[in-house]
Chain A
Amino acid sequence: MIDVFSYVPAIVLLPFFSFLVALGAGKYLPKGGAFGGIAATAGSFLLSLWVLATVAGGQAANRTIYTWASAGGIGPTDVELTFGILVDPLSALMLVIVTLVALLVHVFSLGYMNDEGETGLPRYYAGLGLFTASMLGFVVADNLLMAFMFFELVGLCSYLLIGFHFREPGPPSAAKKAFLVTRFGDYFFLIGVVAVLATFGTAQFAGPESFPALAEAGEVAWTPGGLAVDTWFTIVGLLVLGGVVGKSAQFPLHTWLPDAMEGPTPVSALIHAATMVAAGVYLVARMYGFYALSPTALAVIAFIGGFTALFAATMGVVKDELKQVLAYSTISQYGYMMLALGAGGYVAAVFHLTTHAFFKALLFLGAGSVIIAMHHNEDMWDMGGLKSKLPVTYYTFLAGSLALAGIFPFAGFWSKDEILYEALVHAPGEPLLFGGYLMGLLAVPVTAFYTFRMVFLTFHGEPRSATARDPEPVRWNVKGPLTVLGSLAVVTGVINMVPVQKVLGIEGIDVLHRWLDNEWGGIEGLSSHHYADLGPYSSEYLVGGEVGTVLVGAAVSLGLALAGLGLAWRLYGVPSPTEHTAKLGGIKDVLYNNYYLDELQVWLAYRTEDVAGVANVFDQGIIDGVVNGVSSVSLFGGNRIRRLQSGVVSQYTALLTLGLVALVLVLGVTGGWFL
């Protein structure tokens, strides 16, 4: 049967072909293979739109394409390891986001990489293509193991792209750090995958035989040592969460992300908005039916999320470099998404993932535009006054900043407000969740403050350096993507106007809620209503019923955001702003040094050196010893046996004759000729 879902693998394969083309023939192509990448991502984007339209028409797909291993043995049941596609409202939406952002990033790269005369462009475009392909493969994955494979590929690509400028000292070490820190989380994820396979005998996400469905029905084939099923589910959920915490840069594995700013800016946009970091949150949303069964896991997710949101926001306050501020804002915003997931706000998390993808891609590309204009100087204290020189960049960046700060009516306001609302109404009786909510709320003014500190320092006031007085102009390939994303950052909120619906009573404008609730069709068991039924939470309205809570919640978060914005305006919205960090006293140093977490991790690494030493001995001695032993035995044997090849014909004849005689004797004895 040929239908639109038969083309879903093509969405993944098109960027992969652009990777192959850029890698193999990039140096012979104009622009280092950029057009191949643009064509491929544009094709994927169009196909994704088609898929989205088809899903809106009431169809969905959950298909196994290829079974690459099938065996009994690791669990009590037979296990099949497969590749397949799962297209439902969630993955269709994500496909569109990823392909759109990837397309815009490719176009922007023409301005940021090609026009700036970078070398090694084929390698760059190959990396972008593979990165996009891996993320798309991850999005359509229909089982946990396939998701894990593409998850790892995404990590590999981030390593390749962050270390793009490998001749400088910073990027290679940042790339290694990103790879190792996320690998550390993925290690737990891998154990989680094996645990899921052993427990349920399947790793499928959807369908009656999927692991969330089996978990819901309590059909467990195996638990370790007869552990209680609920406890074991929590443990498995937390193991998989390890990978999520690593990739989505949650505390305490967030340390790689600020360093990842060493990569080219379009890559940062891709990593932060649509690919690597989004993968973690998307994974939790994908298997939300499993997490919803474990109140403990949900509470942990909510608390980690809320804590990360506040924690990262405070560090963003003192940074001097444009991209560093954005890096911490990313960590903080993904904290919000985790808070939403933990609070049972599945739709709110997906909503924030969507709006954040647009406004964060916008902010990074805007930062890229500023960096082009500033001749690759990222220090905000050397900028200022760019507003009149770069009007397109300024207004789009401003739209993104208002969205990030959560100011009405920009996209970020709606999604952040819904997250806080979900956390608030589910919080009574859940201390961890309530803690997460409070921290999320506290992070709102901090977010608004650092966002507008960044805007004021960069664009307002008097120029503070010669480059800022005469910045380099940017071309259409920079302005185009910024304009598209700028419009999206303003209007994306309309897809889910829940507060307006609740207050004014207009039905049907919570499109995203209805979309994820399979109202247009989807796959049984993967709807937001189903998740809400599974989840442990019940809603309690604090003041004035539902409408009152909505209004109060929105007013409080908007008020806090405006307060942060106002403070930033007071301190930095002046013609020649100065540093105010000295007022923070001792806290300043702590914030500058990121709470000394990098030092802590290095210290921990040294403490655990002995473990690594033992592992090294095992690896070098036993594993390598076996491999080397096998090879040296065959080398030695071959050396001796080849002496038979003497070159004397008579010896060959003699051997042939002896062989024939021996053969006849053996056949004769076993065949019974001599009896």
Chain B
Amino acid sequence: MTAVAASIPPSWYLLLAATVFCIGLLGVLTRRSALYFLMSVELMMNAANINFVAFALYYGDLTGQVFALFVIALAAAEVAIGIGIILVLYRNFGVTDVTVPTEMRW
């Protein structure tokens, strides 16, 4: 299994990660619902994870894999806080559309 994964050139992994990241970014830019935001951010973080793991494999170094674990933990925490924010948003404005509350403008 490892041998198969290592035989693929690293640029492929990078390409895959970049694609996933862009999909996530596109989601953040185009969607209005805060829930979609959370999911898109999850995609972007996992794109970073792919890079970590790919480089860890390429250099034979476990640091990258450890960091990927950290990122997963961080993503869980982020979702917890994010959902909290969305709940407050909904309670105050009755929507989860992020373009509606513009109280913090100039």
Contacts and interface: CB of A to CB of B under 8 A. Distances in A.
A648 B29 contact: no
A646 B98 contact: no
Interface in A617-675: 642-643, 645-650, 653-654, 657
B32 A647 contact: no
Contact of B105 (A645, A650, A654): A645
Contacts of B102: 646-648
A570 to B, nearest CB: 88
B79 interface: no
A161 B105 CA distance: 53
A645 B106 CA distance: 6
A355 to B, nearest CB: 72
Contacts of A653: 28-29
Contacts of A645: 104-106
A138 to B, nearest CB: 53
Given A653-B28, A654-B29, A647 B105 contact: yes
Please indicate which of the listed interface residues A643, A648, A654 has the most CB atoms of chain B within 10 Å of its own CB.
Answer: A648
A445 B29 CA distance: 100
B25 interface: yes
Nearest to B103: A647
Majority-rule SS of A interface residues = helix
A664 to B, nearest CB: 12
B104 A647 contact: yes
B105 A646 contact: yes
A242 B25 CA distance: 76
A647 B101 CA distance: 7
A650 B101 contact: no
A642 B25 CA distance: 26
Contacts of B103: 647
Interface string B77-106: 000000000000000000000110111111
A650 B98 contact: yes
Contacts of B28: 650, 653
B99 A657 contact: no
B99 to A, nearest CB: 5
Nearest to B99: A648
Nearest to A641: B106
Contacts of B32: 650
Interface string B14-32: 0000000000010011001
Contacts of B29: 650, 653-654, 657
Interface string A580-604: 0000000000000000000000000
B106 A650 contact: no
A650 B25 CA distance: 11
A495 B106 CA distance: 77
Interface in B24-52: 25, 28-29, 32
Contacts of A654: 29
Contacts of A650: 28-29, 32, 98-99
A649 B99 CA distance: 7
A280 B105 CA distance: 62
B11 to A, nearest CB: 15
A656 to B, nearest CB: 10
B42 to A, nearest CB: 16
A648 B29 CA distance: 11
Contact of B25 (A643, A648, A657): A657
Contacts of A657: 25, 29
Nearest to B100: A648
B98 A649 contact: yes
A646 B105 CA distance: 5
A643 B102 CA distance: 12
Q: Among B25, B102, B104, B106, which residue has the most Cβ atoms of chain A within 10 A?
A: B106
A395 B98 CA distance: 93
Contacts of B98: 648-650
A648 B32 CA distance: 10
Contacts of A649: 98-99
Contacts of A643: 106
A645 B101 CA distance: 13
Nearest to A644: B106
B83 to A, nearest CB: 16
B48 to A, nearest CB: 15
> Residue among A643, A646, A650, A653 with the most chain B CB within 10 A?
A650
A644 to B, nearest CB: 8
A22 B83 CA distance: 61
A645 to B, nearest CB: 5
A645 B98 CA distance: 15
B22 to A, nearest CB: 10
A647 B102 CA distance: 4
A646 B98 CA distance: 12
Nearest to A645: B106
A646 B29 CA distance: 15
Contacts of B106: 642-643, 645-646
Given A645-B105, A646-B106, A653-B29, 11 more contacts: A642-B106, A646-B105, A647-B101, A647-B102, A648-B99, A648-B102, A650-B29, A650-B98, A650-B99, A654-B29, A657-B29
The 6 closest A-B CB pairs, nearest first, are: A647-B105, A647-B102, A642-B106, A645-B106, A649-B98, A647-B104
21 contacts: A642-B106, A643-B106, A645-B105, A645-B106, A646-B105, A646-B106, A647-B101, A647-B103, A647-B105, A648-B98, A648-B99, A649-B99, A650-B28, A650-B29, A650-B32, A650-B98, A650-B99, A653-B28, A654-B29, A657-B25, A657-B29
